[in-house]
Amino acid sequence: MKITLEQVDYVAVLGRLDLSHDEKIKYMGQLDDILKYMDALSAVPTEDVEPMAGPVELFTPLREDIVKPSLSLERALTNAPSSDGSSFLVPKIIE
């Protein structure tokens, strides 16, 4: 597929680009190369390929949820500048 100068102008308007004539000629060739590559990709047989959300299959390893010892409430609040006995108290920042 051959890209025309009018198509480059149209894309430049969409992208709000002010291109010189030399830049338009340069981008015309680059856009044409991109479309040739897309044609090559469309020739690849994909009938037996399952759809994917992305190019890399993601796997999230999970571990058992085991209760372990942690800080007591009193110990967690020990260094708090201010607390009410069960929570940290912080200055109000939103009126």
Residue 77 located in a structural domain: no
Q: What is the pLDDT of residues 6-50, one digit of tens each?
A: 999 999 999 999 999 999 999 999 999 999 999 999 999 988 888
Residue 29 maps to which CATH number? 1.10.20
Residue 92 located in a structural domain: no
Residue 16 located in a structural domain: yes
Q: How many angstroms separate the CA atoms of 42 and 47, rounded?
A: 12
Residue 81 located in a structural domain: no
Residue 59 located in a structural domain: no
* Domains contained in the chain, number: 1
Residue 36 located in a structural domain: yes
Q: Which domain holds residue 21?
A: 5-42
Residue 9 located in a structural domain: yes
Helices and strands (H and E) in the chain: how many: 3, 0
Give the pLDDT band of residue 1 (cuts 50, 70, 90): low
What pLDDT sits at residue 61? 87
